[in-house]
Chain A
Amino acid sequence: MNAAPKIGLFVTCLVDLMRPSVGFASVALLKRAGCEVHVPRGQTCCGQPAYNNGDDGNARAIAERVIAAFESFDYTVAPSGSCAGMLKKHYPEIFADDPAWQQRAADFAERCYELTSFLVEVMDYRPSDVSFPLTATYHDSCSGLRELEIKQQPRQLLSAVSGLELVEMQDAEVCCGFGGTFCVKYPDISVKMVSDKVANIERTSADAVLAGDMGCLLNIAGRLKRLGNAVKVLHVAEVLAGDGATAPGIADKQ
Chain B
Amino acid sequence: MRFTSVDFERNVTKALQDEHLQDALQRGMHGFVGKRAEAVAAVPEFERLRDEAREIKNHTLEHLDYYLESFEESVVRSGGHVHWAVDAVEARGIVLDICRKTGAKSITKGKSMAGEEIDLNEALEAEGFEVVETDLGEYIIQLANEPPSHIIAPAVHKTREQVSDLFHHHHRLLGFEQRQVEVPALVDEARQVLRKKFLQADVGITGANFLIAETGSNVIVTNEGNGDLTSTLPRVHVVTAGIEKVVPTLEDMTVLMRVLARSATGQEASTYTTIFSGPRRPGDADGPEEFHVVLIDSGRTAILGTEFQDILRCIRCGACLNHCPVWGAVGGHAYGWCYSGPMGAVLTPLLKDLEAAKHLPNACTLNGRCEQNCPVRIPLPGLLRKLRHRQYEANLTGATTRYGLHVWAFLAKRPALYDFCCNVVVRLLHLLGKRRGRLARVPLAGGWTRGRDLPAPAGATFQSQWRARGRS
Q: Give complex CA distance A179, B413 in Å.
A: 23
List the A side residues contacting B364 at CB < 8 Å. Answer: 179, 182
List the A side residues contacting B418 at CB < 8 Å. Answer: 44
List the A side residues contacting B411 at CB < 8 Å. Answer: 44
Render A212-231 as a binary contact track against B, CB cut-off 8 A, 1 for contact: 00000011011101100000
Is A38's CB within 8 Å of the partner chain B?
Answer: yes
Is B104's CB within 8 Å of the partner chain A?
Answer: no
Is A246's CB within 8 Å of the partner chain B?
Answer: no
A20 & B461 in contact (Cβ 8 Å cutoff): yes
List the B side residues contacting A183 at CB < 8 Å. Answer: 447-448
Q: Give complex CA distance A185, B393 in Å.
A: 19
Closest 6 CB pairs of A and B: A179-B365, A54-B392, A222-B452, A191-B451, A184-B447, A54-B388
Size bracket of the B interface: 35 or more
Tell me if B's interface is mostly helix, strand, loop or mixed.
Answer: helix
B367 & A18 in contact (Cβ 8 Å cutoff): no
B412 & A62 in contact (Cβ 8 Å cutoff): yes
List the B side residues contacting A133 at CB < 8 Å. Answer: none
Q: Give complex CA distance A193, B415 in Å.
A: 34
Q: List the B residue with the shortest CB-CB distance to A223.
A: B452
List the A side residues contacting B329 at CB < 8 Å. Answer: 189, 192-193, 196
Q: Give complex CA distance A18, B463 in Å.
A: 12
**CB<8 Å pairs between A and B, sample of 19:** A16-B462, A17-B426, A19-B457, A21-B458, A38-B472, A39-B471, A50-B405, A54-B385, A54-B388, A54-B390, A54-B397, A55-B405, A56-B389, A56-B392, A183-B448, A190-B451, A221-B453, A251-B453, A251-B454
Give how many A-B residue pairs fall within 8 Å (CB-CB): 217
Interface residues of A (CB under 8 A from B): 11, 15-24, 38-39, 41-45, 47, 49-56, 58, 61-62, 65, 142-143, 145-147, 173-175, 177-196, 218-219, 221-223, 225-226, 248, 250-254
Given A50-B405, A62-B413, the answer on whether A252 and B12 have CB atoms closer than 8 Å is: no
List the A side residues contacting B434 at CB < 8 Å. Answer: 254
A143 & B415 in contact (Cβ 8 Å cutoff): no
A58 to chain B, nearest CB (A): 4
Q: Give complex CA distance A52, B392 in Å.
A: 11
Q: Give complex CA distance A147, B369 in Å.
A: 11
B453 & A17 in contact (Cβ 8 Å cutoff): no
A220 to chain B, nearest CB (A): 9
A39 & B458 in contact (Cβ 8 Å cutoff): no
B461 & A17 in contact (Cβ 8 Å cutoff): yes
A53 & B447 in contact (Cβ 8 Å cutoff): no
Render B443-457 as a binary contact track against A, CB cut-off 8 A, 1 for contact: 001111011111111
A184 & B448 in contact (Cβ 8 Å cutoff): yes
Known: A45-B412, A175-B325. 6 other contacts (CB 8 A): A20-B458, A24-B462, A39-B463, A39-B472, A181-B401, A222-B438
A47 & B412 in contact (Cβ 8 Å cutoff): yes
Q: Give complex CA distance A146, B453 in Å.
A: 28
